[in-house]
Amino acid sequence: QVQLVESGGGSVQAGGSLRLSCAVSDNTCRILGWFRQAPGKEREGVAVIDSDGRSSYADSVQGRFTISQDNAKNTLFLQMNNLKPEDTAMYYCAADRRKMTAFQALRDIPWWLWDYWGQGTQVTVSS
């Protein structure tokens, strides 16, 4: 059982930045990703990184968010810049054992089929 623990959420004004972290208990999962869920909305994929270091982003965050990982420390990051009020949501870290590209994972695997999830961290952006 892989355990994921997020941290780094908080409140920020529009235009500000936050960096989310996710501690992953082991390195057996081949794709890691960040998802978010706003009140009353379905969970959506934000960014995914695969075992070859390739990344893929939702159109809404492209150019503003950057996903990265520290393999030595089994930690996943999401750097979020130029935050907007519409980025307000609970952000979740997820992991999956399947081997595929980040592009395929973000677009072809529904969130409910990912193997492992963290408990989430809240991000609130005020205007």
Cross-strand pairs, 37: 90
Cα dihedral 113, 115, 117, 123 sign: negative
Residue 72: the pLDDT is 81
pLDDT digits (tens, 9 = 90+) for 8-53: 999 999 999 999 999 999 888 999 999 999 999 999 999 999 999 9
Provide the residue type at 101 as one letter.
T
**Does the structure show a pLDDT above 90 at 73?**
no
Strand 75-80 to strand 121-126: parallel, antiparallel, or no bridges (unpaired)? unpaired
| Structure confidence at residue 114 (pLDDT) | 97
When pLDDT is averaged across residues 96-104 and rounded to a whole number, the result is 95
For the chain, percent of residues with pLDDT exceeding 70? 100
- Taking a C-beta distance cutoff of 8 angstroms, is the pair 34, 64 a contact? no
